[in-house]
Amino acid sequence: MTEPLILGIETSCDETAVGIVRGRTLLANVISSSVAEHARFGGVVPEIASRAHLEAMPNVLEQALNDAKVSLKDIDAFAVTAGPGLIGALLVGVSSASALSVALDKPIYGVNHLSAHIAVDALNSDHPLKPTIALLVSGGHSSILQVNDISSDVKVMGSTMDDAAGEAFDKIARLLELGFPGGPAIDKEAKAGNKSAIDFPRGLTHSNDQEAHAYDFSFSGLKTAVSRYLQQAPNAVRADVAASFQESVVDVLVTKAIAACKASGIDSLVIAGGVAANSRLREMAQERTAKAGIELRIPAMGLCTDNGAMVAALGSIAVSSGKQASQIGFAANSAAGLDQVIW
């Protein structure tokens, strides 16, 4: 059987992205980001993001087809992020993919943005798609997931109770006047700092938290601690604050992910999402999983942030697994949970 050629569209936030895969081989991954248009506001403005998607979509689609050296008529099926995300942004992608599906009489798969972040791990590899624990960390989400079947069975073991990890990075970067987005800025600043200089708190890691919140996250207390420290020590070394803050976040993420692996008996861990590009997270995860005898997989840097390749990857897995295509007219869902992988 010929491997399916899938085109994936991602527009959940501020990246307009189209990816094309054949089976598990990545052929094209084109991204147009509107982050520069949001920078002066210190965060993503939904209306600006939606308009940017409308403007960028034709060129991004054309470039992806050129990169993959295929035409729209060659595509076997379309996949598109249907949720969660900004509703206006999602509608641009869903409308675009639906129009292509109808015009070319090809099936369409509405897919979950969070599951797609995990599915990108399958690309350019032939490793078995066995059950795994996934640490999903981004600007809007911080979750530990038990992935029994990436196309149909993903269970939430823990999630953030307040700020997501990426959101915390953005807020602390603002306090440190490092700009937006905060994740890359803090990662860069932290390289010149001492990660042990300040003992910032590790949220939900005390013994009395373990029963109810063993795999949950909370970064609001850490954010407050950093803010108070800066008020009390206005001349603090910025790089030390960045490094110490980053160490606290990464320590909690890795500790809880490894604990989830041990508790579930699953000896593999996938780290995905925008924060997976953080150099200290990657370094600590490699050290600790090796010590614990856990297989670690982290996508290439360019596949950590939102992209079309991850959507196409999940669509390809769905097609290869015999999952039923979505019905034309399916609705985008800005607050979709992981219980809905394929629409």
The 10s digit of each residue's pLDDT in 22-54 is: 999 999 999 998 877 887 787 788 889 899 999
**Peptide bond connecting 84 to the previous residue in cis, omega within 30 degrees of 0:** yes
Residues 6 or more apart whose CB falls under 8 angstroms from that of 16 comprise 10, 31, 32, 33, 34, 52, 53, 56, 57, 60, 92
> So what's the pLDDT on residue 1?
55
Closest CA to 258 of 108, 176, 135: 135
Nearest partner of 137 among 239, 19, 256, judged by Cα: 256
Q: Distance between CA 273 and CA 160 in Å, rounded? A: 14
Residue 262 to residue 253: CA distance in whole angstroms: 15
How would you class 211 by CB atoms within 10 Å of its CB: exposed for 0-12, middle for 13-18, buried for 19 or more? exposed
Beta bridge partners of 325: none
DSSP for 139-163, please give it.
SS-EEEEEEEETTTEEEEEEEBSSS
Answer CATH for 5-123+303-320 from 3.40.50.300, 3.30.420.40, 3.40.47.10, 3.40.630.10 = 3.30.420.40
Print pLDDT tens along the chain (343 aa): 589 999 999 999 999 999 999 999 999 999 998 877 887 787 788 889 899 999 999 999 999 999 999 999 999 999 999 999 999 999 999 999 999 999 999 999 999 999 999 999 999 998 989 999 999 998 788 999 999 999 999 999 999 999 899 999 999 999 999 998 999 999 999 999 999 999 999 999 988 888 889 999 999 999 999 999 999 999 999 999 999 999 999 999 999 999 999 999 999 999 999 999 999 999 999 999 999 999 999 999 999 999 999 999 999 999 999 999 999 999 999 999 888 899 9
Query: Most distant CA pair in the chain: distance in Å?
Result: 66
In the chain, CATH 3.30.420.40 covers: 5-123+303-320, 132-298
Percent of the chain predicted with pLDDT > 90: 87
Q: What is the pLDDT of residues 60-70, one digit of tens each?
A: 999 999 999 99
> Residue 298 to residues 123, 231, 268: CA-CA distances in angstroms?
11, 37, 11
Q: What is the model's pLDDT at position 103?
A: 98
Residues 266, 132 contacting (CB under 8 angstroms): yes
For 132-298, which CATH class? alpha beta
What's the confidence (pLDDT) of residue 211?
A: 82
pLDDT in tens, 82-134: 999 999 999 999 999 999 999 999 999 999 999 999 999 999 998 989 999 99
C-alpha radius of gyration, the chain, whole number: 20
CA distance 82 to 87: 9
- pLDDT for 81 equals 98
| pLDDT for residue 225 | 97
| CA gap 290, 274 in Å, rounded | 23
